[in-house]
Amino acid sequence: MKKFNWRLQRILELKEKQEHLARTELMEITEKIIAIRHAILLRQTNLRQSLAEFGRIEVAQRLPSHELMMRSAKYVGEQISLLRKKMTEFEEVKKQKMEKMLELRKFRKNLEKLRQAAYLQYQEDVKKAQLSELDEIAAIATARQLIAVESDSTGDRT
């Protein structure tokens, strides 16, 4: 009997590769988002610590460096804002990649269901062919026995 060959197998393999690639891209974007969150938290923590330390200094000693500290705090605040904006952009890209991956997964699973149905049909066809072959063999054997019985019975008369 011939081997099971499904015509859409290459498409299924392609979709599996595309899904794997989408999953990899999604993980990379997630790692970038995590790195940005870490950078934001680090800058916020450093800013809070710097402001707390600056607040502990006496007012007379604080005045000369007050303007520098405020510029530094403003700069760090701008960095945090830029990082948040960048993180929001990455989260939007992540959302799009997630939708793409889910769409690919759904398509792949549907192809797998079709493949399974085709394989079950193939197995059923193989069983039918085997039964038909067995029936044919049995019919031939029966015919041979009948011929043998007839030839024996006609051979006895002569």
Cα separation, 22 vs 107, in Å, equals 14
Tens digits of per-residue pLDDT, 118-150? 999 999 999 999 999 999 999 999 989 989 888
Q: What does the pLDDT average to over 146-158? A: 76
Query: CB–CB of 33/91 below 8 Å?
Result: yes
Contacts for 139-145 with beta carbons within 8 Å, 24 or more apart? Answer: none
Q: What's the whole-model pTM score?
A: 0.72
pLDDT band of residue 57 (cuts 50, 70, 90) is: confident
- Distance CA(28)–CA(39), nearest Å, equals 17
Question: pLDDT averaged over the chain?
Answer: 92
pLDDT, mean of residues 74-95? 97
pLDDT exceeds cutoff 60 at 61: yes
**Taking 70 as the threshold, does the pLDDT of residue 155 lie above it?**
no
Residue 3 scores a pLDDT above 70:
yes
Residue 53 reports pLDDT greater than 70 = yes
Residue 108 has phi, psi (to 5 degrees) of -60, -45
CA pair distance 88, 43, nearest whole angstrom: 17
- pLDDT more than 70, % of the chain: 97
